[in-house]
């Protein structure tokens, strides 16, 4: 990994290499090690989900021709990313609402809240913004 080459010119490629190394490890037999790895891997996954959500929101805002023949960005995510429609919607929603829930994003980064909870908070923020009373404020 420190060979001096440009393998880190694409951080996603470096991430995939690191994930492959972690996934190839044996499952620990000591409970303390299991707990530690579970917590740390979940925190890393949650942080990646937040970044994925920002990308998903940006992609959902692209012109229809960018969806490569799909009827919606959600269909594109289903086909190209192997996601359920629900997971795709949650990703887009979190990205769309990121500006409205900065404290929740910080909580994910700190490992206090997981992505699943963040998606519920983002969905709630979106629903509240669409209520007639909220719309009347602006």
Distance CA 40, CA 34 (A): 10
Residue located via tokens 């940006």: 58
Given a cut of 60, is residue 49 above it in pLDDT?
yes
The whole-number pLDDT of residue 134 equals 66
Given a cut of 90, is residue 3 above it in pLDDT?
no
Q: What secondary structure letter does DSSP report for 130?
A: T
Is the Cα torsion angle 48, 52, 90, 19 positive or negative in sign? negative
H or E segment to which residue 54 belongs? helix 31-60
Distance CA 22, CA 25 (A): 5
Distance of CA 106 to the CA centre of its chain: 14
- Rounded mean pLDDT of 52-71? 95
**Which tokens go with 88?**
């795709």
Q: CB burial class (10 A; 0-12, 13-18, 19+) of residue 120?
A: middle
Render pLDDT for 5-40 as a digit per residue (tens, 0 to 9).
455 589 999 999 999 999 999 999 999 999 999 999
Collect all residues with Cβ–Cβ distance below 8 Å to 50 and sequence separation of at least 6.
94, 98, 105, 108, 109, 115, 118
Percent share of the chain, pLDDT over 70: 91
Distance CA 30, CA 42 (A): 18
Global pTM? 0.87
């Amino acid at each position: 990994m420190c060979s001096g080459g440009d393998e880190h010119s694409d951080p996603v490629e470096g991430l995939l290499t690191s994930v492959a190394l972690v996934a190839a490890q044996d499952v620990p037999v000591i409970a303390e090690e299991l707990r530690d790895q579970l917590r740390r891997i979940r925190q890393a996954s949650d942080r990646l989900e937040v970044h994925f959500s920002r990308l998903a929101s940006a992609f959902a805002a692209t012109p229809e021709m960018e969806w490569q023949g799909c009827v919606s960005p959600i269909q594109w995510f289903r086909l190209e990313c192997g996601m359920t429609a629900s997971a795709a919607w949650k990703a887009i929603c979190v990205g769309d609402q990121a500006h409205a829930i900065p404290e929740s994003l910080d909580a994910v980064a700190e490992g206090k809240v997981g992505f699943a909870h963040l998606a519920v908070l983002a969905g709630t923020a979106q629903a509240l913004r669409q209520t007639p009373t909220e719309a009347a404020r602006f």
